[in-house]
Amino acid sequence: SKPPPKQIKIAPPVTTTGLTDVDVRSGMQVAALKQAVTDHLRYSIGHPPVATTLHDYYYALALAVRDRMQHRWLNTLQTNFDLKRKIVCYLSAEFLMGPHLGNNLLNLGIEQEARAALAELGQDLDIVLECEEEPGLGNGGLGRLAACYLDSLATLQRPAVGYGIRYEFGIFDQEIHDGWQAEITDKWLRYGNPWEIAKPEVAHYVNWGGHTEYYRDEAGNDRVRWMPYRVVKGTAYDTPTQGYGVNNCNTLRLWSAEAVESFDFQAFNTGDYYQAVEDKIISETVTKVLYPNDEPQIGKHLRLGQQYFFVSCSLQNMLHILSLSGVPVENFAERYAVQLNDTHPSIGVVELMRLLVDERRLDWDKAWAITVQTFGYTNHTLLPEALETWPLPMFQALLPRHLEIIYEINRRFLDEVRARFSGDEARVARMSLIGEEGEKCVRMAHLAAVGSHAINGVAALHSDLLKASVLKDFYEMWPERFSNKTNGVTPRRFLALANPGLRALLNEALGEQWPVNMEQLHQLEAKADDAAFRRKWRAIKEANKKRLADYILAHTDIELDPTWLFDIQVKRIHEYKRQHLNVLHIVTLYRRLKENPGLNISPRAFIFGGKAAPGYFMAKRIIKLINGVAETINADPDVNTRMKVAFVPNFNVQNAQLIYPAADLSEQISTAGKEASGTGNMKFMLNGALTIGTLDGANVEIREEVGAENFFLFGLTTEEVEHIKREGYHPTDCIASNSELRTVLELINSGYFSRGDAEVFRSVVNNLTYSDPFLVLADYAAYVACQERVSAAWQDKENWTRMSILNTARSGKFSSDRAIREYCDEIWNVQPATVKL
């Protein structure tokens, strides 16, 4: 063996600014940031000046910012270890983080310094920010909620890890071709990702398929061995998530699938090189792409594979860290609170049992007590087509050992049901973890409910409906497990970052604590009666509308007037969200203007945005309909000085930050009882938009907070919807009794909005006429009437502004900080840990 190397003295780096090495890595001043950017340009990126691009500046600044977070991140990890605090593990198949750079600068409090440093290098921060390719690792609300919760957890100094999947391709990019949606694969890693730190040494192995064997161990106990058909390796990629105004910096740990090398070698040695390559491809497929389906679940083998893969890696990781900390496995639930973001990670209940019983050799009862104490389950939807179930043969083929464990959990659980409700075999069948009507399947919501000590919905109405419908039997069995946790959104990204104009005004009026104490916004209520304040408020809104109008012009060639009412509906395209109800109103208004050119209406820009699941026929037709109506109206000189329609392509977190602050009116018009909560509704409210909405999801609580007089309510209630459906709903009756509605549907059906092609929208019109599952026509008249009240209200600028101010002033409840405090106090029992530098 070689002798140890001689101690080498490293000369301190010489810099032209006289800064030390430490300053360059972690200094927050302009000079340090500037030096850091130039160092990263030279040493991390390394293009000669002639080849240096704007993207290089983005990347260099991102690395400089990451260095500053790294310092805080390591201290956070060390502090959490030293204090032996309980940690929140938020398990989610989706994290829709949005662009990192702007948010991290904001949370670190160095936006001005970064702007000045770049300016000295001849660059504009706003233009550099636009270079970031956002990580779209989520579909919509559910994934974005997970991201908001990570922001609040760090800001509230709670130790937390977000565990998920590092999809190589996130949610597709949407382009609009001839009015139709086209899907483009999201190659977000194409130019590298400066925010993640690969941890090749943090890896776990995940089994698939095969069979189980029974054996007797040394102590004479019967045990089970899983003999898998395939093993996949999961490697960790960490993204630090910085809290706002604190040193705490938590971890988002995403797992990426790789082939297990030894498997390759084995095949290689036996000469089957191609088999080895094929294995590698199959393994890496697991984390290749995010399923772009929102609510209707698709029972795909690979999707179950993704779920098991990330959940197994995450639980193994927790157990590994626990043993590194010297904590006995029996104390698992005292150290980890694991939250299931919907049923997507609910296989975790079974996997933890397997790890504890088969691998750690705990006895069943002890393992079960730990499991139930560990997990909490959040339900995000009541739509029957969205509830996850897996066909038994598929489940058995992929996870044979887990199916055995499910049978045992079920056997014991149904014994309990029988003991509580003796003789009620119908109830037993309803509650079973195995569905037996039709094709046999595993019911993941039941599994999550049985395996968790806490079950919650995401808005008051939704939590009530959950107890009364989908999980009624479970509520009757364990009422103490149920609670409501109304969703929230982070005011850092969606107010301070997205709306710098309003941020400055709020700082001036309230001081700078409001982003972490949103109840302070109530102090704005007094300002609503101050005419000078209202003028400032309006000027900010109009500047935001100008900013959005410029963006829309650049991306669609449609020119909007920022003095008009901006009426906006942005969210996934879904029949229950009823974008087509909005379209029916637009066409109604169009016809009224054509018939009566002198009609006095408030000029409006109708703005839409949102992606449709690629296989969702009706949603894709609705996009085409919006674009067809837009094309016709925008080109019609009889009306286009008073109304226009625009569809913003590729709605994502980045352009959402331009859209919410520009809204006067927020469209939240889902069929009552269908939208679990909604979170876009909250982002609009924060930014001073008034809501037109049904009594659905969190709209109910928004209206309660802002006051009925500041909210445009219309439509059937949940009870009325259920009543009508029970009695038999006939949309043709709505048409027969409303000649204006009939004319509107006929106009759409005639090809008027599709260059004479009467085929394109036939399916949409027929669906509404003969089926209308989401009661669009039943709510049409009330919606149109409500929009007339909106138009009238807009005429009184001063009162509209008053209402706008009151919306922001009363939005404090919808901060994700409030939601996270409730989860920490009532479900997780996780305390803050202050991190010092």
List residues binding ligand B1N (CB under 6 A).
139, 141-142, 145, 293-295, 342, 380-381, 386, 458, 487, 675-679, 697
| Nearest distance, CB of residue 258 and ligand B1N, angstroms | 24
The residue from 574, 624, 642, 683 that is catalytic is: 683
| Nearest distance, CB of residue 293 and ligand B1N, angstroms | 6
| Residues in CB range of 432: below 8 A, 6 or more apart | 410, 414, 443, 446
Nearest to 468 by CA among 484, 452, 486: 484
| Nearest distance, CB of residue 613 and ligand B1N, angstroms | 9
Q: In which residue are the tokens 């009116």 written?
A: 665
Supply 822's token pair.
Answer: 């409730």
Q: How many CA atoms lie within 13 A of 438 on its CB side?
A: 5
Q: What's the CA angle centered on 190, arms 184 and 191, to 5 degrees? A: 135
Task: Report the interhelical angle of 617-634 vs 762-770 (nearest 10°).
Answer: 110
Q: How far apart are CA 27 and CA 22, in angstroms?
A: 7
| Nearest distance, CB of residue 456 and ligand B1N, angstroms | 10
The residue from 572, 578, 674, 813 that is catalytic is: 572
| Nearest distance, CB of residue 441 and ligand B1N, angstroms | 17
Q: Which is nearer to ligand B1N, 458 or 524 (CB)?
A: 458
| Nearest distance, CB of residue 616 and ligand B1N, angstroms | 13
| Nearest distance, CB of residue 563 and ligand B1N, angstroms | 32
What three-state secondary structure class fits 181?
A: strand
Residue with the closest Cβ to ligand B1N? 141
Is 577 marked active-site?
A: yes
Nearest to 540 by CA among 501, 577, 513: 501
In 344-440 the beta strands, taken as DSSP E runs, fall at 375-378, 389-391, 434-435
The residue from 115, 380, 402, 446 that is catalytic is: 380
Residue type, 301: H
Q: How many CA atoms lie within 13 A of 195 on its CB side?
A: 25
DSSP string, 677-719: --SHHHHHHHTT-EEEE-S-TTHHHHHHHH-GGGSEE-S--HH
Is 679 marked active-site?
A: yes
Q: Which is nearer to ligand B1N, 466 or 806 (CB)?
A: 466
For residue 607, the cross-strand partners are 568, 646
Nearest to 755 by CA among 631, 658, 652: 631
| Residues in CB range of 134: below 8 A, 6 or more apart | 97, 98, 99, 188, 652, 653, 654
Backbone angles phi, psi at 39, to 5 degrees: -65, -45
Q: Which is nearer to ligand B1N, 293 or 750 (CB)?
A: 293
Q: How far apart are CA 131 and CA 33, in angstroms?
A: 19
Buried b / exposed e over 556-592, threshold 16 CB at 10 Å, is bebebebebbbbbbbbbbbbbbbbbbbbbbbbbbbee
The residue from 335, 492, 541, 577 that is catalytic is: 577
Backbone angles phi, psi at 448, to 5 degrees: -65, -40
Alpha-carbon Rg for the chain in angstroms: 28
Q: Which is nearer to ligand B1N, 464 or 550 (CB)?
A: 464
Q: Cα 152 to the chain's mean position, in Å?
A: 14
Is 380 marked active-site?
A: yes
| Length of the chain counted residue by residue | 837
**Count of Cβ atoms closer than 10 Å to residue 732 Cβ:** 12
| Nearest distance, CB of residue 326 and ligand B1N, angstroms | 37
Nearest to 589 by CA among 747, 773, 711: 747
Q: Which is nearer to ligand B1N, 141 or 348 (CB)?
A: 141
| Nearest distance, CB of residue 494 and ligand B1N, angstroms | 14
Q: Which is nearer to ligand B1N, 35 or 569 (CB)?
A: 569
Is 418 marked active-site?
A: no
Nearest to 135 by CA among 168, 167, 97: 97
Q: How far apart are CA 624 and CA 618, in angstroms?
A: 10
Q: Which is nearer to ligand B1N, 128 or 455 (CB)?
A: 455
Residue type, 485: K
**Count of Cβ atoms closer than 10 Å to residue 31 Cβ:** 18
Q: Which is nearer to ligand B1N, 147 or 206 (CB)?
A: 147
**Count of Cβ atoms closer than 10 Å to residue 229 Cβ:** 12
Supply 252's token pair.
Answer: 């988002």
| Nearest distance, CB of residue 9 and ligand B1N, angstroms | 56
Is 571 marked active-site?
A: yes
Is 683 marked active-site?
A: yes
**Count of Cβ atoms closer than 10 Å to residue 51 Cβ:** 9
Q: Which is nearer to ligand B1N, 454 or 745 (CB)?
A: 454
Q: Which is nearer to ligand B1N, 367 or 459 (CB)?
A: 459
Q: Which is nearer to ligand B1N, 133 or 388 (CB)?
A: 388
Q: How far apart are CA 146 and CA 259, in angstroms?
A: 29
Q: Cα 121 to the chain's mean position, in Å?
A: 36
| Nearest distance, CB of residue 579 and ligand B1N, angstroms | 14
The residue from 571, 580, 611, 802 that is catalytic is: 571
Q: Which is nearer to ligand B1N, 305 or 697 (CB)?
A: 697
Nearest to 685 by CA among 670, 674, 699: 699
Supply 214's token pair.
Answer: 């029974």
Supply 622's token pair.
Answer: 């609705």
| Nearest distance, CB of residue 300 and ligand B1N, angstroms | 11
Q: Which is nearer to ligand B1N, 68 or 166 (CB)?
A: 166
Residue 87 and residue 119 in contact, taking contact as beta carbons nearer than 8 Å: no
Q: Cα 85 to the chain's mean position, in Å?
A: 27
Q: In which residue are the tokens 């029996």 written?
A: 330
Q: How far is CA 654 from CA 140, 547, 685, in A?
A: 13, 13, 18
| Nearest distance, CB of residue 445 and ligand B1N, angstroms | 12
The residue from 38, 371, 389, 679 that is catalytic is: 679
**Catalytically annotated residues:** 380, 571-572, 577, 679, 683
